[in-house]
Structure 1
């Protein structure tokens, strides 16, 4: 059997040169940074994301929530069901459209907001970035998300 000759690696295919890996690694590490802060609230990271949207909008359809979080209903429904069992939100059929389910924040869900107030500041501190730097980075990332959706 002939041995395939070794050639110099293509720099374009080096792991460290891949945007996808940098974003993937950053996503995992950011989630890991949030984890101990969210454990204090007894909230998972996906639940926190749902709560963030509902703290802002209070009531949304499952479809609207999925659009904001870039999640399909198959992923979102079990998550919402668990959150409803914790009494953080309620789910009801929309009386105007029986096909649509409306998600509404409960008082208990709203109460979590007060306890979560310090999380963004603690994460920023952990990242050792000033608010203006974080704002620029967030804007760049949001532009990429918009471009790819």
Structure 2
């Protein structure tokens, strides 16, 4: 019985979706682009299989891609530098890092459209998709 409990605990996906917020100035200073929406899709072996810097209506089809992009390690390093912590991945499915712009900053119809599509995809994949959201928020500091 103890072994069954141990096996069950080890098979549980311990990655948890995270939400990050960065100001425009922080994103500009980071190694990722200052735009939204952006998508970084990793497979279960933590290899980047798809990335986009705009709304992608065919996102669902990108989950079928099997080949890692040549800049997979660089993108992981850039995300880790921005987030200032080790990245967490879904070991049994996919991990999606999604960059969006807060509605408080201004309208971003492509961001809202991408969010609606991601919500539909998440309901289809259930526990096989971990989504980490990076939101560009309004800055409290203004420069003249």
Give TM-score, length-normalised by structure 2: 0.29
Whose helix proportion is higher, 1 or 2? 1
Give TM-score, length-normalised by structure 1: 0.29
